[in-house]
Amino acid sequence: MSENNPEKEKNSKTHPSLQEINEYDRYLNERKLLVEGEATMAKSFDNAILTLAGGIFAISLTFIREIAPQRLESWILYISWPCLLLAILSTTFSYILSMQAFRKQRKILSQDYTNNKITTNTWTIATQWVNIVSMLLFFIGGITLAIFMLINISN
């Protein structure tokens, strides 16, 4: 008779079992590790772009001064240098966007917890796009500078 008791079914659905609580705790711990790992990788990515773009820019100035003072195809530098500079600036800008995204996400988390609804954080989306643009600018700047150097070394 207790197996068909609606009150018992209601209580079992409103109060999670110990196993469900443990599974949920494992889920939260795993999710926390993934979020921390992503944050670490994002920080490393930003640092790498800033360091590499700045370093490549400095190398290009040394290259022009010491190796190729009579540069050929210098128009390529008009592509490379702005791309490298914009990669540095957009990465720096992504820090500001990221901070705003964290602030907004805290508000969303509080709202979602109380209202049981999911809200999109547009600051997070903007940060992701700026990081993609930064990476593309870095690659374009680096590749065009490499082409410039190859042209000038071979002549």
Tell me the pLDDT tens digit for each residue of 111-136. 766 676 777 888 889 989 999 999 99
pTM for this entry? 0.68
Q: Give CA 75 to chain center in angstroms.
A: 32
Over the range 129-144, which residues count as b (16 or more CB within 10 Å of their CB) and which as e? ebbebbbebbebbbeb
Residue 108, CB half-sphere, CA atoms under 13 Å: how many? 14
The whole-angstrom separation of Cα 136 and Cα 74 is 21
The whole-angstrom separation of Cα 97 and Cα 123 is 6
Tell me the pLDDT tens digit for each residue of 34-80. 888 888 888 888 889 999 999 998 998 888 888 877 778 888 889 99
